[in-house]
Structure 1
Amino acid sequence: MSEEKTYPMTAEGRDKLQLELEDLIANQRPEITKRIQIARSYGDLSENSEYQSAKDEQAFVEGRIQTLKNMIDNAEIIDSNATAKDEVSLGKTVTFKELPNEEPETYAIVGSVEADPLAGKISNESPMANALIGKKVGETVAVPLPNGISIDVEIINVTK
């Protein structure tokens, strides 16, 4: 028997997924149903692009609803208080700089479901986060890159 996959995430991340789920169920699903009914009224479904488009969108939305329900049901809420105050862990924000003289960068370390590097959130599964997790302020860490080399970064600050 296979064990259900868990999805590490912050409470904020779970709440965002819940809002998306509620929107899909309350707004998008009924809208698509209306579009399908209207498209059916046009007659011959075999050459009805509006009908096919709405059915395709319905399949996507229903799939997304199931995915969201699964992620929410199997969410593992991250407790950033479970580690030392200056230790990098899921749910914490870390500031580091590439050595020797790069500008500091700040990222929140979140579960893969919440990751959005452009918004300053990196997945705990990323090479950077993977290398930083468990380390403390002041430590220098070698971060392996996909091209086979590694970079050294110094952890400057960790916050919740």
Structure 2
Amino acid sequence: MSQEGYDKLVAELQRLESVERPKASAAIAEARDKGDLSENSEYDAAKEAQAHLEDKINKMKVSIAEAKIVDLSRLSTDAVQIMSKVEMTNMSTKAKMVYTIVSENEANLKQGKISIKTPIAQGLLNHKEGDIVEVEIPRGIIKLRIDKISIEA
């Protein structure tokens, strides 16, 4: 993943631990003060929300522990790889598309960032400019021509 993506993940983890976790504990305490826990749906909901939060925190900790930060200066534009910005043309519709291939945690379609695990990214990997690749997507097979490969710092 990029250094920027790693930094965002660490900041979000810190926010969850320092802001959201105390809020969840306070919600449980407030619900507990309302009496009989056996019939207290507010208490059950607060406990469930806390469990979801703790699960999210644990998953983020694993992602951070397993993260490998990509040194963008060492990447090549010879072939598509993680962190490549790929300009391509859909050969059947002639539609132009631009995607940057990123780690799963950094994927954001609105920003044009697709996960390396998506069918399109998998189909493009290791191909060069000018190559026409056939990519199997849920709706069938599409042909994409790789027009340009670059690295965005």
TM-score of the pair, normalised by structure 2? 0.89
Listed as ranges, the matches of 1:2-151 within 5 Å are 9-147=1-139, 149-151=140-142
Query: Cα RMSD over matched residues?
Result: 1.7
SS in 2 for 1:102: coil
Unaligned 5+ segments in structure 1 are 1-8
Per-residue deviation at 1:135? Answer: 1.2
- TM-aligned CA distance change 1:156 to 1:37, over 3 Å: same
Per-residue deviation at 1:68? Answer: 0.5
Are 2:153 and 1:153 equivalent residues in the alignment? no
Unaligned 5+ segments in structure 2 are none
Residue-by-residue CA offset, 1:65-93 (whole Å, 9 max, x unaligned): 11100110111223444443242110121
Per-residue deviation at 1:10? Answer: 2.0
Residue-by-residue CA offset, 1:10-48 (whole Å, 9 max, x unaligned): 222222211211111010000111111111111101111
Q: Distance in 1 between matches of 2:57 and 2:120?
A: 31
Per-residue deviation at 1:138? Answer: 1.6
> Partner letter of residue 89 of structure 1?
Q
CA contact (8 A) 1:80 1:92 kept: no
Runs of 4+ in structure 1 off by over 3 angstroms are: 79-83
- TM-aligned CA distance change 1:150 to 1:42, over 3 Å: same
Percent of aligned positions with the same letter in both sequences?
A: 37
Residue-by-residue CA offset, 1:119-153 (whole Å, 9 max, x unaligned): 31111111111111111112211112335x42211
> Partner letter of residue 109 of structure 1?
I
Structure ranking higher in helix proportion: 2
Q: Alignment length, in residue pairs?
A: 151
> Partner letter of residue 123 of structure 2?
A
Q: Distance in 1 between matches of 2:132 and 2:72?
A: 22
SS in 1 for 2:104: coil
Mean Cα deviation higher: 101-110 or 18-27: 101-110
SS in 1 for 2:106: coil
